[in-house]
């Protein structure tokens, strides 16, 4: 795959845009410090905003193989979540995401995931897009299924989820093959 989706993806309610260091405080307060948000993630809740800032600096330095976006509300610009994609092989794209708890069950992550998938460039057709989630993360599993992903495997002792303890836990692997004739690209923010 030659390119990632554009840096800015825009739809009715949401704008996906690159993170900035100035985003550290709202990301920390609304997402990264919440142990309920990070419960099924591969990282613990952040202890302070400095930790969130360090993570953002690290993400910004990996832009060659990975692209990260903040998910913000149109109009207010309020940050509600994070979403990313990473090329782990030429025809394979991994996605990851998290959403602040106060915005759960409002359709924001479904819309952000749809926007990201629609924004993948034409040369991504035929690519395998995949995501994993903790075996008990029913909310994430439902999101992926609704977005057209198929359960491919249960990965035994796949990953350490820090909030679950030091031992590896099982994960579910969901995949989706991008079709050649996809919906048109969404409009983009300036």
User: Which phi-psi region, left, alpha or beta, contains residue 75 (left: φ > 0; alpha: ψ -120 to 50)?
Assistant: left
Q: Whole-angstrom Cα distance, residue 165 to residue 183?
A: 42
Q: Do 16 and 112 meet the contact criterion of CB atoms below 8 Å apart?
A: yes
The DSSP secondary-structure symbol of 28 reads I
Q: Whole-angstrom Cα distance, residue 111 to residue 105?
A: 12
Q: How far is residue 104 CA from its own chain's centroid?
A: 14
**pTM of the entire structure?**
0.88
H or E, element range at 95: strand 92-99
Per-residue pLDDT of the chain (190 residues; tens, 9 = 90+): 345 678 888 888 999 999 999 999 999 999 999 999 999 999 999 999 999 999 999 888 776 778 899 999 998 999 999 999 988 777 889 999 999 999 999 999 999 999 999 888 766 667 889 999 999 999 999 999 999 999 999 999 999 999 889 999 999 999 998 875 545 444 444 4
Q: 9-177, superfamily in CATH?
A: Gcn5-related N-acetyltransferase (GNAT) (3.40.630.30)
For the stretch 85-105, pLDDT in tens is 988 777 889 999 999 999 999
């Amino acid at each position: 795959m030659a390119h990632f989706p554009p840096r800015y993806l825009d739809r009715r309610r949401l704008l996906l845009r690159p993170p900035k260091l100035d985003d550290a405080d709202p990301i920390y307060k609304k997402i990264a410090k919440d142990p309920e948000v990070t419960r099924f993630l591969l990282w613990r809740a952040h202890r302070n905003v400095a930790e969130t800032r360090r993570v953002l600096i690290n993400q910004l330095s990996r832009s060659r193989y990975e692209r990260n976006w903040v998910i913000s509300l149109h109009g207010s610009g309020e940050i509600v979540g994070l979403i990313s994609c990473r090329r782990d092989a030429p025809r394979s794209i991994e996605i990851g995401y998290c959403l602040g708890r106060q915005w759960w069950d409002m359709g924001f992550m479904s819309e952000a995931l749809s926007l990201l998938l629609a924004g993948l460039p034409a040369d991504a057709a035929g690519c395998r897009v995949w995501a994993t989630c903790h075996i008990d993360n029913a909310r994430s599993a439902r999101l992926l299924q609704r977005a057209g992903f198929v359960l491919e495997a249960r990965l035994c002792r796949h990953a350490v989820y820090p909030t679950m303890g030091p031992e590896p836990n099982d994960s579910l692997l969901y995949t989706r093959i991008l079709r050649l004739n996809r919906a048109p690209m969404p409009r983009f923010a300036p």
